């Protein structure tokens, strides 16, 4: 960086940022939380998202479920690509860990992986889904 600055050089190659939105897919859930991210008790409100990290010249994708009551990570999955299986496995792990999931609100940005028809059918009987 020092040498580049001294020589007034800039890099034209830019890394592509991860964007999960690929257009309309599946059903959009109502915004139940309405930006109220505080929970009164454990397992009342959960939040999830897929985040991209660059690590050792590779991209990895982290998908956690976090309890909004105390910030506890209920479950998470890491993968080399943001794929539906990652999200489904993460939800399955969470429902194995927390047996009584009826009524839990799961809040996400509703990217393609959260609005997939298979994903919705997996989540809806167990918990409310929020955008």
Work out whether strand 104-107 and strand 127-130 pair parallel, antiparallel, or are unpaired.
parallel
In sequence order, the β-bridge partners of residue 77 are 63
pLDDT by residue (tens digit) across 74-91? 999 999 988 888 988 999
**Mean pLDDT calculated for residue range 30-54:** 87
pLDDT value, residue 16: 64
Give the H or E element holding residue 65. Answer: strand 58-67
Q: How far apart, in whole angstroms, are the C-alpha atoms of residue 29 and residue 13? A: 38
Q: How far apart, in whole angstroms, are the C-alpha atoms of residue 87 and residue 26? A: 15
pLDDT value, residue 116: 57
Q: Which residue has the higher pLDDT, 31 or 112?
A: 31
pLDDT value, residue 131: 46
Averaged pLDDT of the chain: 78
- CATH node for 28-130: 3.30.420.10
Query: Within a 10 A sphere around the Cβ of 7, how many other Cβ atoms?
Result: 8
**Mean pLDDT calculated for residue range 21-45:** 75
Asked whether the predicted pLDDT for residue 125 surpasses 70, the reply is no
The answer to whether 87 and 122 have CB atoms below 8 angstroms apart is no
Q: Where exactly are the structural domains of the chain?
A: 28-130
**Mean pLDDT calculated for residue range 1-28:** 69
Q: How far apart, in whole angstroms, are the C-alpha atoms of residue 74 and residue 67? A: 7
């Amino acid at each position: 960086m020092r040498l580049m600055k001294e020589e007034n050089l800039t890099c034209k190659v830019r890394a592509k940022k991860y964007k999960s939105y690929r257009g309309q897919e599946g059903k959009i859930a109502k915004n139940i939380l309405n930006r109220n991210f505080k929970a009164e008790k454990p397992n009342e409100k959960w939040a999830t998202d897929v985040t991209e990290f660059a690590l050792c010249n590779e991209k990895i994708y982290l998908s956690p479920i976090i309890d909004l009551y105390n910030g506890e990570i209920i479950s998470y999955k890491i993968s080399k690509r943001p794929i539906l299986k990652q999200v489904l496995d993460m939800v399955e792990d969470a429902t194995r860990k927390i047996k009584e999931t009826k009524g839990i609100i799961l809040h996400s940005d509703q990217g393609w992986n959260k609005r997939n028809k298979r994903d919705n059918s997996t989540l809806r009987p167990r918990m409310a889904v929020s955008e």
